[in-house]
């Protein structure tokens, strides 16, 4: 992305709450999250989900890492923005 001279490329840690200045900031978001197990304790997952998805900790059992990353990416996009998200298909 930097090679293509995009104006700003960020690399945020999705285990941390999205900093306020990134909410609805971008016209375009692109994410290709890793597909695999989310290695975190239940308590840590609940904290991240609480911070990211308005306290819906019942998602802890079903939410996967790619879902979390997609949600955070979409939070950073302007309401009129566009997104390209690569998501894992379930069998």
pLDDT at 60 > cutoff 90 = no
Per the model's pLDDT, the better-predicted residue between 69 and 90 turns out to be 69
CA-based end-to-end distance of the chain:
31
pTM attached to this predicted model = 0.67
- For the segment 61-76, the average pLDDT, to the nearest whole number, is 81
Neighbour-count burial of 48, counting CB atoms closer than 10 A to its CB (0-12 exposed, 13-18 middle, 19+ buried): buried
Least confident of 9-13, 21-25, 83-87: 9-13
Average pLDDT over the chain, rounded to an integer = 79
């Amino acid at each position: 992305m930097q090679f293509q001279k995009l104006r700003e490329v960020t690399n945020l840690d999705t285990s941390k709450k999205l900093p306020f200045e990134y909410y609805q900031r971008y016209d375009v978001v692109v994410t290709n999250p890793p597909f695999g197990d989310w290695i975190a304790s239940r308590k840590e997952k609940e904290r991240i989900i609480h911070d990211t998805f308005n306290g819906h900790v019942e998602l802890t059992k079903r939410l996967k890492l790619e879902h979390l990353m997609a949600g955070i990416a979409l939070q950073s996009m302007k309401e009129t923005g566009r997104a390209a998200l690569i998501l894992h298909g379930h069998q």
